[in-house]
Amino acid sequence: MAKPLRLLICEDKDDDALLEVEELREWGFDPDYQRVDNAPDLELALKAGPWEAILADYNMPSFTGMDALRIVRSEGLDIPFLLVSGTVGEDRAVDAMKAGAHDYIMKGNLARLGPAVERELREAQMREERRQALEALQKAHDELEGRVQERTAELRDVNAALQAEAIKRQKAKEELRQANELLEQRVAERTAELAQSVDALEEEVLERELTEDELRQALEEVREKDSILIQQSRLAAMGEMIGNIAHQWRQPLNSLGLKVQQLLLFYDLGELSRDFLHKNEKESMKLIQHMSQTIDDFRNYFKPDKEKTEFKVHEAVARTLLLIEDSYINQHIRVEVDLQNDCVIYGYENEFAQVLLNILVNARDVFTEREVDDPRVMIHIGKDGNKALLTISDNAGGVPEEIMGKIFDPYFTTKGPQTGTGVGLFMSKAIIEKNMGGSLSVRNTCDGAEFRIEV
């Protein structure tokens, strides 16, 4: 089937134009053509277009093929332009090609006309597809740049908030140190008072009955002490979490940088496609969402629980592992989770996660201190009768027997004063046993320690 062709011919001789049209028909084209022989008619014809190809005689009485070429180029049109002449020399033909003509055909060799037009139409189509691809690339680049700028602004705000939180934490740390000294003094005094009270309680209860106000006041003092200790434990964990966030952002930020560089590389190689742009944009947004989710996880972890709720143990374990994942990876610590029963606990999910984090951080620190080869943490989730059972064991060598009975005591720590507060395991036991009605214990195994939680 003949291929339609919108053809503009600059030729003063109608017979020559008919010969060119007939040659194109023999090559398989169906030309719809117009012939012009002067500059004004050419300008009008260009405006009435569009045209797919232009043939121009090099020499005409009123104007030349080079004049026609300059007019076409001045209109900014990218149309295959072929010079046809019977007298043009090789030097002039080369000059015409340099000026922008796509080919020249000798009238004595019109057999070249069909293949030349077909080739130039194909190259014009390729130039148009390339132009459209560049426009699509620029549009995608602008959209991606806009999204990156939006996310950058969000990350800048988050970073400012983290910096402010770090400053606040430093101030709180100093206040906490002073509060610790005062609290130790008060606890010691209160402990002595309570010990005396217990000894004399049987005698005093016969002599007088504590009033409701006195009991309420004693209860409030105990709650105040617990509240201070819980806050101290959370502040210690906050420093750990800020470091984990920095680790979790480093890899996605590096990946984002590589994806931006890929755009330029694939463009330079001529392999940039819409599918690649869509895939690159989708993966970039996934990385940005991952960094945003890290901030949400950090915020949710430190949100105090208002009331007891039902939650799945394995989900609390998974959420806690995400918080400490990067520091475990950096220290080559393997974690194995054995889920035998997807049990449900009724209690405070965030406080339960804090207990898990305290135990996992302690295990990591012991691995580092003892330089354990192939460090491993094993987490077992199951049931013991009607109770949910969770054990966390390691291969770090275990707890020395001389301190086994002290590790849940307040302010007892084997770490230096810069890394340990001595309240993590104390508060963990209080959360599990006092707040959730369960039990937390520890024992040594053949190659490490095992913490056992029953609720």
DSSP readout, 402-439? GGTTTTTSTT--SS-TTT--S-HHHHHHHIIIIISS-E
Going by pLDDT thresholds of 50, 70 and 90, the confidence category of residue 105 is confident
Q: Which are the contacts of 425, defined by CB distance < 8 A and separation ≥ 6?
A: 358, 359, 362, 407, 408
Tell me which range, 94-108, 122-136, 143-157, 431-445, is most confidently predicted by mean pLDDT: 431-445
In the chain, domain spans:
3-126, 210-454
Mean pLDDT of 159-169: 83
pLDDT at site 182: 79
Q: Can you read off the two tokens belonging to residue 441?
A: 């214990």
Reported as type and span, the H/E element at residue 335 is strand 334-339
Between 442 and 308, name the one with better pLDDT.
442
3-class secondary-structure state, position 455: coil
Task: State both tokens at 265.
Answer: 């590389």
Strand order in the sheet with 449-454: 334-339, 376-384, 387-394, 449-454, 439-444
Asked if pLDDT for residue 184 goes beyond 80, the answer is no
Bridging pattern class, strands 376-384 and 387-394? antiparallel
Tell me what pLDDT residue 53 has: 94
Asked if pLDDT for residue 40 goes beyond 80, the answer is yes
What is residue 305's DSSP assignment? P
Taking each continuous run of H as one helix and of E as one strand, the counts in the chain are: 10, 12
Phi-psi region of 385 (alpha: psi -120 to 50; beta: other; left: phi over 0): left
Q: How confident is the model at residue 228 (pLDDT cuts 50, 70, 90)?
A: low
DSSP for residue 77: -
Q: How far apart are CA 65 and CA 54, in angstroms?
A: 10
Residue range 57-83: average pLDDT? Answer: 88
What proportion of the chain, given as a percentage, has pLDDT over 70? 80
Both tokens assigned to 122: 């194909």
Sequence-ordered list of residues with C-beta below 8 angstroms from that of 144, at least 6 positions apart, any chain: 263, 281, 284
pLDDT of res. 373: 93
Residues in the chain: 455
pLDDT for 236-283, tens place per residue? 555 555 655 655 566 567 667 777 888 888 888 888 888 988 888 888
Evaluated on CA atoms 279, 280, 281, 285, the torsion sign reads: positive
Rounded to a whole number, what is the distance in angstroms from the first to the last CA of the chain? 82
Predicted pLDDT of residue 9: 95
Report which listed range, 93-97, 166-170, 302-306, is most confident: 166-170
pLDDT on residue 264: 84
Looking at residues 330-342, what average pLDDT do you find? 93
pLDDT of res. 217: 76
Going 395 to 401 to 405 to 410, the CA torsion angle's sign is negative
Name which residue leads in pLDDT, 302 or 55.
55
CB 95, CB 8: distance < 8 Å: no
- In this prediction, residues 362-391 reach a mean pLDDT of 95
Task: Measure CA 91 to chain center.
Answer: 60
- Band the pLDDT of 307: cuts 50, 70, 90: confident
CATH topology of domain 210-454: Heat Shock Protein 90 (3.30.565)
Strand, helix or coil at 270? coil
Is residue 18 pLDDT above 60, yes or no? yes
CB 363 within 8 A of CB 392: yes
Residue 246 is predicted with a pLDDT of: 59
- Does pLDDT of 48 surpass 60? yes
The one-letter code for the residue type at 339 is L
pLDDT grade for 209, boundaries at 50, 70 and 90: low
Q: What share of the chain is helix, strand, coil (3-state, %, to 5)?
A: 60, 15, 20
Q: What is the pTM of this model?
A: 0.42
Task: Identify the helix (H) or strand (E) that includes residue 259.
Answer: helix 212-268
Q: Is 443 helix (H, G, I), strand (E, B) or coil?
A: strand
Contact 395, 376 (CB under 8 A): yes
> Is residue 382 scored above 90 in pLDDT?
yes
Tell me: pLDDT of 408 over 70.
yes
Task: Tell me which of 94-108, 263-277, 353-367 is least confident.
Answer: 94-108
Fold of 3-126: Rossmann fold (3.40.50)
Would you say 5 and 32 are in contact if contact means Cβ atoms under 8 Å apart? yes
Looking at residue 58, the DSSP 8-state letter turns out to be: S
Q: Which two tokens stand for residue 334?
A: 């393997």
Rounded to an integer, the average pLDDT of 190-206 is 65
pLDDT value of residue 240: 54
Range name among 52-61, 93-102, 308-317, 332-341 with the lowest pLDDT average = 93-102
Of 283, 123, 258, nearest to 266 by C-alpha is 258
pLDDT for 183 beyond 70: no
Closest CA to 81 of 2, 12, 7: 7
The answer for residues whose C-beta is within 8 angstroms of residue 386's C-beta and 6 or more apart is none
Task: Work out the mean pLDDT of the chain and round it to a whole number.
Answer: 82
Mean pLDDT of 428-446: 93
